[in-house]
Structure 1
Amino acid sequence: MRHGLARLVLNHVRRTAITGGLETAHLLSRAGLLAEARGRGAIFTLHHVRPACKRAFAPNAHLEITPDFLEEAIVALRHAGYRFVAIEDLPMHLAAGDTQPVACFTLDDGYRNNLVHGLPVFERYAVPFTVFVTAGYVDRTHTLWWETLADWLSACGEIRFDFGQGEEEMAIACLSRKQAAFDRIAAHIHKTEEAGAIVALDRTAARDGIDALAITERLTMDEAGLRALLESPLASLGAHTVSHRALARLGDDEAKRELLISSERVEAIAGRRPLSFAYPYGFRPTVSARDCRLAADLGFAVAVTTEPGTLSSGANLHALPRISLNGYFQSTRYVSALASGIPFRFAVA
């Protein structure tokens, strides 16, 4: 109990520190200081776009924003002088001498709410956007382990899970223990053989009535949903691998197959090869220099990470930074602060 409560307190302290940093960045930006930090613009990362729903246990709350906040973010960026462009047009912008900053919107994993709730907002403001498609989610062959894990822990007061040395019983009746279990199992998935760990999670959760593939089907678009999305000229699809595993931990041949097959799957849906790619997870330990070379060799014009930062003319087009629109910080002040690039100068966000 003490460890779980300590973790909740630590997370609160971290969010408070980030909030303070964003407020400072907002004030510096308003004062016109460090204007050069904005660079040539920014790529924004989104996942879920859906109305707020109060849930007692929500370990993935950072991955969702409301349609209203998305609208507020677009309006704020437009007011700040940003031009909205599709991510595949970024190379042309970065190579040109245009000093007007650009903003790109990207949405990872292909959630259904991107079509239902996100598309109407983008259409209202004529903003292009790209959805990065995980082929295994479209074809219902792979599962979103973080969603499975959240549903499983929400439904149970105690669980049993095998961390590699036999099943361990975990009492998780209170929120702090649920969060501690989520963090521990997530760390296990990241540090072991990922595919096998996810299979083990799905199998174990199934004993308590959690159907991981049903969660995938409920939350993500199938081929018909993606085709409906593409009826909008503002929408485009990018590749996001087949299995959503960390590429840096895969062998050369397997990593190449993940990129190639996901590209071919998107082509089958969209009628053309995708020009953009998003690395699963996207932070440094999960993306290697080899992965960036693979993306370039396979013909992607751009590939994006989740390393935070703004764009520059000399940026590596196959390791571009993105700024997360985080569900914990849904304020237009913070959108402006992040887009300013100031927080990344001080490693605050």
Structure 2
Amino acid sequence: MNRNRTLMLKAGLNGLYMTGAHLWLAPATRGRGTVFTLHHVRPDSGDPFSPNRVLEITPEFLDRTIKRLRGAGIDLVSLDEAYRRITSDKPERRFAAFTLDDGYRDNLEYAAPVFQANDCPYAIFVVTSLPDGQLEMWWRGLEAVISNRDAIAVDMGERRYLECADVDQKYATYETVYWWLRSLDEESKLNAVRELCDRYGVDMSQLARDVRMTWPQVGTAAADPLCTIGAHTVTHAALARIDEKRMISEMRDGALIIEAALGSRPAYFAYPYGDGCSAGKREYAAAEALGFKMAFTTRPGVIRRSDCNRLMSLPRVSLNGDYQSLHYVDLFISGVPFALMNGLSRQAA
């Protein structure tokens, strides 16, 4: 979400790619496979102010990525097969799995045809309030508030007036308010965005209805033999920021609602947001107690041999709108950027 940080990261990745270091380091860092995180797959809107573009890739880039992975000799697998390989003691070919979080209609309209054309398995983690049309997409609500205004007033402990007349100001205001909101507990965050949306005439429920898969559409996706439906809570709450009783309810009930709608209970789970501030040891223990076979974070990294001991906190690699170039895909599957981030010694585990 921070444009300056993204520019710095891309510059570092571009420099790494130009050195070719990922090619000779990859045998030590690439691990067993990669699980990709996606959200929206749809044509680029071309909107100059699009702070959530990070959550989108185009169908064309998805298609190129699938072909690139296959060209690199990587097996594209379902979560069931990923589970088998992660827990196997035998040497296996490298694999990749695609997961899409939340359950957006474009997953069915744009992503599924690409996966089907390439005979590529995929999984959709459904947050159940989205097909219900009730998900409070606060990040989209904030974007909508800022999009068509020259200034906004935000109560951040005290009332602040933030300029958003041009694109740069809009991004600066979005990032300021976004990260302030992320620092709050769940109810305070939602109350703050509700107040903003009410003040500026933004209907958050309509934002959800505009992009959701309905339950019949979720059923259509589930009927695709290539598709696995996973659980993603009821309300997309940052689980580590709510009390234990509600945390367990979010995880349990999300799976039960999907089971009631589709006839089978999801075996896999993805933590909303998925970073260290949103899911930790308490949530990992709950996922195991609830019987999930694997649960996924957004902690960046490839799947390593030792991850068979961390099935409730598996890493994923974000395939997102800021990195829609195949040389980034090459870097990601090499594991080198994550080795540099986390320490080569840990990657060798």
Taking structure 1 as the reference length, the TM-score comes to: 0.92
Are the aligned partners of 2:77 and 2:120 in contact in 1 as well (CA < 8 Å)? yes
Partner of residue 36, structure 2: 44
Aligned to 2:106: 113
Contact 2:33 2:94 in 1 (8 A): yes
Q: Could you tell me which residue of structure 2 aligns to residue 310 of structure 1?
A: 302
Which shifted more, 202-211 or 71-80? 202-211
**1:91-170 → structure 2 map (5 Å cutoff):** 91-96=83-88, 97-165=90-158, 167-170=159-162
**1:209 pairs with 2:204:** no
Residue 176 (str. 1) matches residue 168 (str. 2): yes
Which 4+ runs in 1 deviate beyond 4 A? Answer: 7-11
**Worse-matched range after superposition: 144-153 or 296-305:** 144-153
How far residue 40 of structure 1 moved from its aligned partner, in angstroms, is 0.7
Of 2, 8, 14, which residue of structure 2 is paired with 1:13? 8
Indicate if the aligned counterparts of 1:44 and 1:103 stay in contact, CA closer than 8 A: yes
CA distance in structure 1 between the partners assigned to 2:288 and 2:35 by the alignment: 19
Q: Does the CA-based 8 Å contact 1:128-1:235 persist in structure 2?
A: yes
1:287 counterpart residue number: 279
SS at structure 2 position matched to 1:306 = strand
- CA 1:34/1:253 → structure 2, altered by over 3 Å: closer, same or farther? same
Query: Which residue of 32, 38, 55 corresponds with 2:47?
Result: 55
* Counterpart mapping for 1:127-276 below 5 A: 127-165=120-158, 167-276=159-268
For residue 139 of structure 1, what is the amino acid of its counterpart?
D
8 Å CA contact 2:233, 2:251 repeated in 1: yes
Range that drifts further, 144-153 or 41-50: 144-153
- Relative distance call for 1:252 and 1:178 in structure 2 (3 A) is same
Aligned amino acid, residue 129 of structure 2: G
| Residue segments in structure 1 that go unaligned for 5+ positions in a row | 1-6
C-alpha displacement of 1:19: 3.2
Structure 1 stretch displaced more, 292-301 or 267-276: 267-276
Amino acid in the other structure paired with 1:100: R
Report Cα offsets for 1:154-183 as digits up to 9, x if no partner.
111111221233x33222112222122211
Which residues in structure 2 correspond to 1:78-93 (within 5 Å)?
78-93=70-85
Deviations 1:15-41 (A, max 9, x none): 3233333544xx2344x4331311110
- Tell me how far 1:248 sits from its aligned partner: 1.1
Distance 1:10 1:255, change over 3 A: closer
Alpha-carbon distance, 1:284 to partner: 1.1
How far the C-alpha of 1:189 sits from its partner, in A, is 1.8
CA contact (8 A) 2:270 2:297 kept: yes
Aligned CA distance change for structure 1 residues 202 and 9 (closer, same or farther; 3 Å): same
- For the residue of structure 2 that corresponds to 1:305, the secondary structure is strand
Structure 1 residue 121, shift from structure 2 partner: 0.5
Change (3 A) 1:171 1:33: closer
Following the alignment from structure 1 to structure 2, what is the Cα–Cα distance between the partners of residues 18 and 218?
35
- Give deviations 1:61-98, integer Å, cap 9, x for gaps: 11111111101111111111111111233221123214
- Report the CA distance shift for 1:110/1:285 in structure 2 as closer, same or farther (over 3 A): same
Paired letter, 1:160? A
Q: CA deviation at 1:11?
A: 4.6
The answer to whether the Cα contact below 8 Å between 1:143 and 1:212 also exists between their aligned partners in 2 is yes
* Greater alpha carbon shift after TM alignment, 56-65 vs 90-99: 90-99
Q: Quick one: which amino acid aligns to residue 228 of structure 1?
A: T
Gaps of at least 5 residues in structure 2 are: 343-349
Pairwise CA distance, 1:188: 2.2
Task: Give the Cα separation in 2 of the matches to 1:262 and 1:218.
Answer: 21
SS in 1 for 2:277: helix
Alpha-carbon RMSD across the aligned residues, in angstroms, is: 1.8
- Higher mean C-alpha displacement, 116-125 vs 176-185: 176-185
Q: Distance in 1 between matches of 2:113 and 2:57?
A: 15
1:322-343 deviation line (CA, Å, top 9, x unaligned): 0111211111121121011111
Matched residue of 2:25: which SS?
A: coil
TM-score, structure 2 as length reference: 0.92
* Deviations 1:256-285 (CA, angstroms, capped at 9, x unpaired): 001001011111222111011001111112
Q: Which piece of structure 1 moves more, 269-278 or 137-146? A: 137-146
| 1:10 to partner: Cα distance | 5.5
Percentage of pairs with the same residue: 34
